[in-house]
Amino acid sequence: MVMNNMSAVDIRHSLALLISVSAALFSLFTALSFGAAETSLQDVFNSFLLSNEASFNTRIIYELRMPRTLLAFLAGSGLAIAGLILQTVTRNPLADPYLFGISSGASFGVVLLMALAGISAGFMLSAAALLGSLLAMGLLILIAGRQQSAQVESMLLAGVALSFLFSAFTSLLLYWSDPQAVAAILFWTLGSFARAQWATLWLPLLVITLCTFVMLSFRRQLNAMLLGDESAITLGVRVQRFRILMLVLSSLITAVLVAMCGGIGFVGLMVPHIVRFFISQGSIAGLLVTSLVGGTFMVWVDVLSRSLLKNQELPVGVITAAIGSVFFLSLLFFRKRKV
Amino acid sequence: MRCLYRFNKPTEGVIEFNNTDIWQLKSDEYAKKVAVVLQETPSQFNLSVFDVVALGLTPHKSLFSSITNIDKQEITQAISTVGLADHSDQSFESLSGGEKQRALIARAIVQQPQLLIMDEPTSHLDVKYQIQVMELAKSLGVTVFASFHDLNLASAMCDELVVIKNGEITHIGTPSEVLTENMLGDVFGVCAQVNNHPQISKSGNSIPHITYFYGYE
């Protein structure tokens, strides 16, 4: 009877995995047919089969929408995984990749470049964002790494403080900049997948795949952290070092994504919570489903951003934050009723 | 207690386990030998009972290995040993205090230790569960090292008692050697009478039972 019970859990996990894999594939495919230019699913098919024969629609799909949709998927899954990891190692349900000052570091880098060099587009911008977020990450690890006790608290507080520090510098620079730069920066911080190109897609793909793989192999240690530092130590986890490693990995994911897509808030916070409603995060399935759901969600957010307004693109960050806060408020509301 | 399970490093002296300094061992090596059941375990996230018990495998598994069917059987076996078979899919957080302790004991079973350390395993528990949890721990066939506030429970459950006051060991020995009216007065500052419990322990020794007196004002 116990064995039956067990396999019921297995079945539910496989089912959840199956559903999220098919949802992800379906979304990646159908999302390609949405956009300013009228295209059909048939065109999408053609773009897969005959990428050499360049009809106008298939070229739009292959050269513009495909890298963009893939980047959206990668961003969503990367942020969701990073959020899950940070929530786990800090045991704080509010932890999210942006709480630790990484995105404000990136914004600072971008603003600094725009203000000093006058550059407002292109590869240099991503590089500046990456450097800015790595700087923030370095400072955070320097502070959290020195702490022997109360590491979680100092990590969270230092993250929030860093994020305010960088925002202060950013605001100061913006104050002295001309209005055009301010508009460019605003657009950048709100996030967009418009800069996606096949040529640069390998970087987030590599970073996210590697980090996800490492996190999957450390899943027991991650679960052990959920029951408290003391308990994790008794299971042979070297808590301080492990937490720093996980912080580095999730910061790396965030830094790369912020550099490529700008600030996209709330996904990292929200998706792990949604998945936790349905399956235990302890299993491999839990981690994979989180990343798939994150990706799928982001693909549809991108579709919305392209198609909500005619001839105009809504910033992705606005949509995720709007959906995110409504979700969060309802989460709080229903939690209160359950008690 | 925290020094024993390597949460704090002692400022002086050495803690030895089987004649090796515990700080010389690698952390997962030590975790294979010593399992710990802590007093209160926080968990806001929805780990299921099965997941929590499966954590006992952590020190035994290399990074990339997955749970085999044998492991699964071991985990299921441990869960039914502690009588939580019906709850294995439930979230750990939804268990009662006693059930949580039992789930953590199941985790310790999966960990296959030589020594089980329990930090006040019976505080916050109802009487029935206090007895249940301790008898369960005793039945595992490994050495159990536990701290107690309830001296009568300690007397009934333990083969040997150690009394510590201000960081120093003041008394050590069998329950009947340690639990005397003098000791209770000196160390705990209470007035009490020590009788024999009507039940006799399995090893045939009598169990001292303390009756406290009240009215100290």
Residues of A in contact with B59 (CB under 8 A): 235-236
For A166-183, write each residue's pLDDT tens digit.
989 988 988 888 787 788
Longest dimension (CA), chain B: 63
Cβ of A94 under 8 Å from any chain B Cβ? no
Nearest CB among B64, B76, B79 relative to A217 is that of B64
pLDDT digits (tens, 9 = 90+) for A266-317: 888 888 888 887 777 777 788 899 999 999 999 999 888 888 877 778 888 8
The per-residue pLDDT for A184 is 75
Q: A-contacting residues of B 198-217, CB under 8 Å?
A: none
Which amino acid belongs to residue A37? A
Contacts of B63 in chain A (CB under 8 A): 217-218
The chain B residue lying nearest A235, using CA atoms, is B31
pLDDT of residue A336: 55
**Could you report the per-residue pLDDT of A150-169, keeping only the tens digit for each?**
778 888 888 889 999 998 99
CB contact under 8 A, B47 and A3: no
Per the listing, tokens 């030590």 go with: B30
- Mean pLDDT of all residues belonging to chain A: 82
Q: What percent of chain B has pLDDT over 70?
A: 96
Predicted confidence band at B44 (pLDDT cuts at 50, 70, 90)?
A: low
Q: How many CB pairs under 8 A join A and B?
A: 110
Q: How far apart are CA A302 and CA A314, in angstroms?
A: 9
Question: How far apart (Å, rounded) are the C-alpha atoms in residues A125 and A129?
Answer: 6
Q: Are B177 and B207 in contact (CB under 8 A)?
A: no
Cβ neighbours of residue A229 under 8 Å, at least 6 residues apart? A151, A152, A239, B7
Task: State CA A127 to chain mean position distance.
Answer: 18
Half-sphere exposure of A101 (CA within 13 A, CB side): 27
Nearest CA in chain A to B28: A236
Q: Do B54 and A226 touch (CB under 8 A)?
A: no
Amino acid sitting at position A313: E
Q: Which of residues 11-30 of B touch A (CB under 8 A)?
A: 26-30
- Give strand ranges (E) for chain A: none
Residue A338 — pLDDT band, cuts 50, 70, 90?
very low
Mean predicted confidence (pLDDT) in B149-168: 88
Those residues whose C-beta lies under 8 Å from the C-beta of residue A328, and which sit 6 or more positions away, are: A266, A269, A270
Contacts of B84 in chain A (CB under 8 A): none
Task: Return the structure tokens found at A110.
Answer: 């971008």
Q: Residue A78: which pLDDT band, with cuts at 50, 70 and 90?
A: very high
Residue ranges of B 77-136 with Cβ closer than 8 A to chain A: 79-80, 85, 88-89, 91, 111, 117
Contact A6 B42 (CB under 8 A): no
Angle, helices A267-278 vs A316-338, to 10°: value is 40
Classify residue A335 by burial, with Cβ atoms within 10 Å: 0-12, 13-18, 19+. Answer: exposed
Closest listed residue to residue B85, CA positions, set A210, A4, A2, A131: A2
End-to-end CA distance of chain A: 32
Report whether pLDDT(B83) > 60.
Answer: yes
A41 burial via Cβ count (<10 Å: 0-12, 13-18, 19+): exposed
Give the pLDDT score at A51.
54
Report the candidate in A257, A273, A42 with the shortest Cα–Cα distance to residue A129: A257
Kindly state the tokens that stand for A97. 């990749």
Amino acid at B82: V
What is the per-residue pLDDT for A208?
92
Minimal CA–CA distance to A267: which of A222, A213, A318?
A: A318
CA angle A263–A266–A269, rounded 5-degree value: 130
pLDDT reported for residue A3 = 45
If you search the block for the tokens 């160390």, which residue do you land on? B187
Least confident residue range of A278-282, B71-75, B166-170 = A278-282
Average of pLDDT values for B138-155? 88
Burial of A161 (0-12, 13-18, 19+ CB in 10 A): middle
Which position has the higher pLDDT, A216 or A53? A216
Tell me: the pLDDT tens digits for B179-199? 999 999 888 888 888 888 888
Q: State residue A295's pLDDT score.
A: 93
pLDDT, average across residues B107-125: 87
CA nearest neighbour of A81 among A324, A289, A317: A289
Our CA-based measurement puts residue B202 at a distance from the nearest CA of chain A, in whole angstroms, of 32
State residue A49's pLDDT score.
66
Which pLDDT score is estimated for A119? 67
pTM: 0.84
Domain ranges of chain B: 16-147
Q: What fold characterizes domain B16-147?
A: Rossmann fold (3.40.50)
* Residues in chain B closer than 8 A to A235 (CB atoms): 31, 55-56, 58-59, 111
Question: What local confidence, expressed as pLDDT, does residue B70 receive?
Answer: 84
- Give tens-digit pLDDT for A235-274: 888 888 888 888 888 888 888 888 888 878 788 888 888 8
Q: Decide if B145 touches A, using CB distance below 8 A.
A: no
Higher-confidence position of A86 and A195: A86
Helical (H) or strand (E) element with B97: helix B97-111
| Residue A62: other Cβ atoms inside 10 A | 20
Q: Work out the mean pLDDT of chain B and round it to a whole number.
A: 85
Contact B58 A276 (CB under 8 A): no
- Domain A2-338, CATH number (from 2.70.50.30, 1.10.3470.10, 3.40.50.150, 2.40.110.10): 1.10.3470.10
CB contact under 8 A, A280 and B2: no
Provide, as residue numbers in chain A, all residues whose Cβ is less than 8 Å from the Cβ of B36: 230-231, 234
Confidence grade of residue B43 (pLDDT, cut at 50, 70, 90): low
Which site among A230, A240, A335 would you substitute to test the B interface, given the most B Cβ atoms closer than 10 Å to its Cβ? A230
Q: If you average pLDDT over residues A11-35, what whole number do you get?
A: 85
- Per the listing, tokens 């793909």 go with A205
B45 has a pLDDT exceeding 60? yes
Q: Which residue, A30, A153, A27, is CA-closest to A95?
A: A153
CA–CA gap between residue A26 and residue A16 (Å, rounded) = 15
Please list, residue by residue across A98-123, b when 16 or more beta carbons sit within 10 angstroms of its beta carbon and e when fewer do: bbbbbbbbbbbbbbbbbbeeeebeee
Is A2 in contact with B80 (Cβ distance < 8 A)? yes
Note the pLDDT of residue B25.
82
User: Six-digit token pair at B217?
Assistant: 């004002």
Q: Is the pLDDT reported for residue A148 higher than 60? A: yes
